[in-house]
Chain A
């Protein structure tokens, strides 16, 4: 009896292990193979587009960590991308190009900003949390806009991509592509490990029932603050890569529209799945690219499309796929 029960749970975990991994393996394989296909036509264009997808996927992952696993709906997450990017841009304008300096600087700056603002934001709940993260995001945006020595409103050109210990590893588009892929894979694995860990279990518990978590002895605020800093640093990583890919840094990276786009990516893909954040970022950026190629007024098509997804595709693309699979299986 007990043996039967044991083997039953074992099969269950084995099946769920497979079910949990098939999709991400497919996603990352696809990313890894893109440069091979791209070699046949329009290589530079495809590489730069998919590089962008992966960079924003990192930021979307970070946001999903907040929304999907912590119920912390941040409307200011683009600020962290901007901070990471400005760390690269400002250091580069002073002749410091090495990633050994600019990457830690980007992570430290975004992490510190997350810590300082998180201490305040996390004391609020629900709509107030959304408002206050938006306010801090706009604060970062206006600060960047007023940085006259670094281009102000116009932003600033990064004349040279980062080096690594003096080697120009970021210079080649294909190399940059794979660096972004490795960064995305690292961010994805970090998030997956995090949510399953002791820490993540408390953090997820606080999403579902903070009162219960408090009465069994967890000060949930501390857990949420740590998660907020981690998500901020992942945003900073995304910004570091974006500055290198675009070779340009602009206050627009931090605007509230950008934060809204990140939210759309996460919701579009499917909240609280991590896979969904990557798929959502890809779907959003590719749809934007495709539609803007058709017409200048692409937002007229894109807007209603989002409404349809919000109305009919609960759980985002991942949710739709999940339901289709269940229908096929009967």
Chain B
């Protein structure tokens, strides 16, 4: 059996008296899309934040590409190939769309302690950035200011930034959050095209999208994993239906 890209073991996190991550064990295999679903407040974003390093867990370990990264800082994890998108769009609004993505390329290519030369004109950075933009359908907006994009376009930009990092794992925190019907369809199509090429952890509320995309689904309720398995199995799980899917699937 191939080795997991990401292996989380017995992860626990408390906010004061509240246990937001409760003994979570989960893994992502190469090429796998592992969806994490659950009601609001189940601790999905908290889990993503611990994986990307923005929050330190109280207990448990995170193994990424066979290495224990539990205490590795955010930037160093990103350098190792852990890319993430944010539920609430996090971009550089005053930079052009292209520069937002080119910065992610720059993080992986050569040194950034270069004090001369016009970074915005560097073809070695712009070409891969354009390629990432093309993958999410934003190539035509490359010269626009990131802050002036529509909400759906910003969501696509988040994805392009993550792709430009040449990631070994994509952590997607509600990539479709707040998008309209057409935009959701477009993003789902983009995710479909990425599936298999990158292992992904997908946190999402859109159940149609999740069941269409996921190889495996874990259901998180009150910080605990209630059920984990292939979509068909999770959909049929009576516990999951009572606790979560019942209301969502109607």
Which residues of A are interface residues toward B (Cβ below 8 A)?
Answer: 9, 193-194, 196-202, 204-205, 208-209, 211-220, 223, 226
Contact = CB atoms under 8 A, between A and B. Distances in A.
A149 to B, nearest CB: 39
A217 to B, nearest CB: 4
A211 B78 CA distance: 12
Contact of B161 (A197, A216, A219): A216
B92 A217 contact: no
Contact of B103 (A211, A216, A219, A226): A216
A209 B104 CA distance: 13
B19 interface: no
Given A193-B115, A196-B119, A199-B115, A216 B90 contact: no
Contacts of B108: 217
B15 interface: no
B38 to A, nearest CB: 23
Given A216-B103, A218-B107, A198 B95 contact: no
A199 B113 contact: yes
A194 B115 contact: yes
Q: How large is the interface on B (under 10, 10 to 19, 20 to 34, 35 or more residues)?
A: 35 or more
B73 interface: yes
B75 A218 contact: yes
B71 interface: no
A281 B149 CA distance: 37
Contacts of A212: 86, 90-92, 161
Interface string B106-117: 111001111111
B66 interface: no
Given A198-B119, A208-B92, 11 more contacts: A9-B143, A193-B116, A196-B118, A198-B112, A198-B114, A205-B95, A212-B161, A214-B74, A216-B161, A217-B78, A219-B76
Interface of B: 52, 54, 73-76, 78-79, 83-84, 86, 90-95, 99, 103-104, 106-108, 111-120, 122, 143, 161, 165
Given A209-B92, A212-B91, A197 B73 contact: no
B140 to A, nearest CB: 9
B78 A199 contact: no
B115 A197 contact: yes
A208 B93 CA distance: 8
A215 B83 CA distance: 7
A211 B22 CA distance: 26
A197 B103 contact: no
Given A9-B143, A215-B52, A216-B165, A201 B99 contact: yes
Contact of A202 (B112, B117, B161): B112
15 contacts: A196-B118, A197-B114, A197-B116, A197-B119, A198-B113, A202-B112, A204-B95, A208-B92, A215-B52, A215-B74, A215-B75, A215-B78, A216-B83, A219-B73, A219-B75
Contacts of B52: 215
Contacts of A197: 114-119
Contact of B78 (A194, A201, A208, A216): A216
B55 to A, nearest CB: 12
A62 B107 CA distance: 26
Contacts of A211: 54, 90
A201 B106 contact: yes
Contacts of B84: 215
Contact of B92 (A194, A198, A205, A214): A205
Nearest to B107: A217
A305 to B, nearest CB: 30
B91 A202 contact: no
Nearest to A211: B90
A233 to B, nearest CB: 13
Contact of B90 (A9, A209, A220): A209
Contacts of A226: 113
Given A193-B116, A197-B119, A200-B119, A205 B103 contact: yes
